[in-house]
Amino acid sequence: MNEFRVLSPTAILGYGFPEESFRAGLARDPHLIAVDAGSTDPGPYYLGAGVSFTDRAAVKRDLELMIEAGLERDIPVVIGTAGGCGADPHLEWNLEIILELTREKGWQFPLGVIHAELDKELVRQALRQNRISPLYPAPDLTEEEIDAAKHIVGQMGPEAVMSVLGQGAKVVLAGRSYDPAVFSAAAIAAGFDKGLAIHMGKILECGAIAASPGSGSDCLLGTLRTDCFIVEPLNPARRCTPTSVAAHTLYEKTNPYILPGPGGVLDLRETTFTQETETAVKVSGSKFLPGDKYTVKLEGAKCVGYRTVSIAGCRDPIMIGQIDHITEAVRERVQDNFKRYGYKYFLHFNIYGKNGVMGNLEPQPNVTAHELGIIIEAVAETQEIANTICSFARSTMLHYGYPGRVATAGNLAFPYSPSDFKAGAVYNFNVYHLMEVDDPLSLFPSKIIEVGKEKR
Amino acid sequence: MALVKLPEVASVIRSKNSGPYELTLDVIFKNKEAFEAACRAQVINKSTIAKLYGISEDEVIGIIEFAPAHAIKATIVRPFPSGALGETDVYGAQQHAPLLNLEFELT
């Protein structure tokens, strides 16, 4: 085999893609269809709560097209970071969608399922053996934080995916995965260069974002050869350019020359990007440098309380001019009112129109807005306390008599009734560390399920 | 010699999370000439980033010039980890604005 073609339909499973682009990709006879289904970008809630940030119907639609195409052509379909975060509940959620499709479509195939949620005792032992280090600037890990985490996942490398493909899986559903792993595993197993395969995976994992104009909901094709790879969009409205592809390499990364991943680093110091055709870019010179030890990135999130928010607007210039004083006065009033109960809570006023987006990083601290958006947020150890604090802060702010006030009917414009929203549990990332392992497969148990067999 | 603002010579100026604890700022220049001029002028360095964002130079993790993309990126410590209480930008995608006013001598 001197060429390995990988079709990436979309940046994240459930973000969708035009069927026309997908068919143009299939017409190129890919050897693999792969998709990344997750990200830490939407924040800690989804990992902590065990729910997906993508919509079920949208995920099902993408999977139906992808798996159908894979089965028709007898090429593997590989899904990484199932359910958005790749812990066990996410994997189960995504598995249920595949099983539902299987029943509806009458499919029958061996499905490889790879778990990535870690047993806490295993993480505790690794911490005691000094095999866990923080990823700067995350703080050191402690046993208390391990205990507090709701879910801890490890990012699998290509080895775990290679293993289930080797056992004959036609579709692979993997828990938390290093993004390029699902795109590169089959090619590495077929003997292609690991550095090129992983770098190609890194570009493919965001779908057509690496094209110009870029899009996270359109397809990209990667063609891996022995000494280079070529990436190209499948929608005639887009083209890849050396700058668009190189620029994607640095997206969301600290250092675009040395990119750490499971088992080593991707070294792009000698990588070149050249225009191959009108729309395709050739990439060569990327290398994989194995590390002394195999490390796996861990991610975890813990519950820190329950949130209630109230959304309001302010159009009174006299109030806008004193907004800092008013929020402080409301904060003190809330504290004083409930001091006998000793509630522990976090009360925050996020003021859009005054540093609402950049907070402390804002270089323009002075208010110039003619109106302000105000979000009153309370987080407390129970939903009831959060409701109480938010409600009291809201009513206090609504009627607060600030100096010079002429609008005595009320200070806030509420767009909704009810004005307060119970947002439920709040999570923080509390594990973002590297763990040394002896065997790249040891954290990622897998099984092959013969789906569709039970019906026949 | 002329004083130019970054948006005049850059096609992309953006911010994004680089994991939950870091914020990375990308400036992609319109062409090789502008990129090289910006590198010569050291328009983006630890001190300019620290000043623009009101942080200490220690909180600027690194400045990287990436020639293949005609890009310079700066990475800083997030003021809050993504999604932490008091955080205002979970994806970190709206922290680029101060760069739009950055001026430098185009030589």
The partner residue sitting opposite B82, judged by closest CB among A43, A136, A350, is A43
Q: Are A346 and A390 in contact (CB under 8 A)?
A: no
For the cut 90, the answer to whether the pLDDT of residue A145 exceeds it is yes
Q: Do A41 and B24 touch (CB under 8 A)?
A: no
Q: Do B20 and A40 touch (CB under 8 A)?
A: yes
Q: Which residue of A has its CA nearest to B58?
A: A137
Measured distance CA(A187)–CA(A78) in Å, rounded: 12
Q: Secondary structure of chain A: what % helix, strand, coil (to 5)?
A: 35, 30, 40
Residues of A in contact with B16 (CB under 8 A): 251-252
Measured distance CA(A59)–CA(A291) in Å, rounded: 36
Q: Are A386 and A305 in contact (CB under 8 A)?
A: yes
**Backbone angles phi and psi of A97, in degrees to 5:** -65, -45
Q: Radius of gyration of chain A from Cα atoms?
A: 25
What would the pLDDT profile of A406-449 be if each residue is shown by its tens digit?
999 999 999 999 999 999 999 999 999 999 999 999 999 999 99
Residue-wise burial string across A188-216, b where 16 or more C-beta atoms lie within 10 A, e elsewhere = bbeebbbbbbbbbbbbbbbbbbbbbebbe
Measured distance CA(A303)–CA(A325) in Å, rounded: 32
Which of B16, B29, B58, B88 is best to mutate for the A interface (most A CBs within 10 A)? B88
Measured distance CA(A45)–CA(B80) in Å, rounded: 15
Measured distance CA(A258)–CA(A180) in Å, rounded: 15
Q: Are A250 and B71 in contact (CB under 8 A)?
A: yes
Q: How many CB atoms lie under 10 A from the CB of residue B60?
A: 21
Confidence of residue A455 (pLDDT cuts 50, 70, 90): low
Q: Which residue of B has its CA nearest to A271?
A: B68
Q: Do A246 and B69 touch (CB under 8 A)?
A: yes
Measured distance CA(B17)–CA(A254) in Å, rounded: 9
Judge if the upstream peptide bond of residue A137 is cis by omega within 30 degrees of 0.
yes
Measured distance CA(A81)–CA(A311) in Å, rounded: 34
For the cut 80, the answer to whether the pLDDT of residue A252 exceeds it is no
Q: Secondary structure of chain B: what % helix, strand, coil (to 5)?
A: 30, 35, 35
d(CA A455, nearest CA chain B) in Å: 44
DSSP assignment of A320-381 equals HTTHHHHHHHHHHHHHHHTGGGT--EEEEEEEETTTTTTGGG-S--S---SSEEEEEEEEES
Q: Are A220 and A199 in contact (CB under 8 A)?
A: no
pLDDT of residue B106: 81
Confidence of residue A332 (pLDDT cuts 50, 70, 90): very high
pLDDT of residue A249: 83
Residues of B in contact with A247 (CB under 8 A): 12, 26, 28, 69, 71
DSSP tally for chain A: helices H, then strands E: 13, 19
The partner residue sitting opposite B71, judged by closest CB among A42, A250, A346, is A250
Residues of A in contact with B94 (CB under 8 A): 357-358
> Which residue reads 């009831």 in tokens?
A384
Residue type, A154: G
Confidence of residue A66 (pLDDT cuts 50, 70, 90): very high
Confidence of residue A451 (pLDDT cuts 50, 70, 90): very high
Q: Do B66 and A257 touch (CB under 8 A)?
A: yes
Tell me the pairing of strands A32-36 and A77-80.
parallel
Q: Distance of CA B7 to CAs B4, B53, B104, Å?
A: 8, 18, 11
For the cut 70, the answer to whether the pLDDT of residue B33 exceeds it is yes
* Fold for the domain defined by B2-101: Alpha-Beta Plaits (3.30.70)
Percent of chain A with pLDDT over 70: 99
What would the pLDDT profile of A193-249 be if each residue is shown by its tens digit?
999 999 999 999 999 999 999 999 999 999 999 999 999 999 999 999 999 999 888
At A249 the three-state DSSP class reads helix
Q: Do A138 and B55 touch (CB under 8 A)?
A: no
Residues of B in contact with A135 (CB under 8 A): 19, 21
pLDDT of residue A230: 98
Measured distance CA(B95)–CA(A52) in Å, rounded: 26
Q: Are A152 and A120 in contact (CB under 8 A)?
A: yes
pLDDT of residue B17: 94
Average pLDDT over residues A104-127: 98
Tokens of A319: 């109030």
Q: Are B28 and A247 in contact (CB under 8 A)?
A: yes
**Backbone angles phi and psi of B94, in degrees to 5:** -125, 35
pLDDT of residue A364: 86
pLDDT of residue B1: 65
DSSP element (H, E) containing A6: strand A4-8
Q: Do A43 and B53 touch (CB under 8 A)?
A: no
Task: Write the CB contacts of A427 (distance below 8 Å, at least 6 apart in sequence).
Answer: A44, A45, A47, A48, A49, A150, A301, A302, A303, A304, B83
For the cut 70, the answer to whether the pLDDT of residue A456 exceeds it is no
Q: Taking the model in full, what pTM does it have? A: 0.95
For the cut 90, the answer to whether the pLDDT of residue A386 exceeds it is yes
Residues of A in contact with B54 (CB under 8 A): 360-363
pLDDT of residue A253: 78
Q: For chain A, which residues lie within 8 Å of any Cβ of chain B, measuring from their own Cβ? A: 40-45, 135-138, 242-243, 246-247, 249-257, 271-273, 304, 346, 348, 350, 356-363, 379, 426-429, 432
Q: Are A398 and A386 in contact (CB under 8 A)?
A: no
Confidence of residue A108 (pLDDT cuts 50, 70, 90): very high
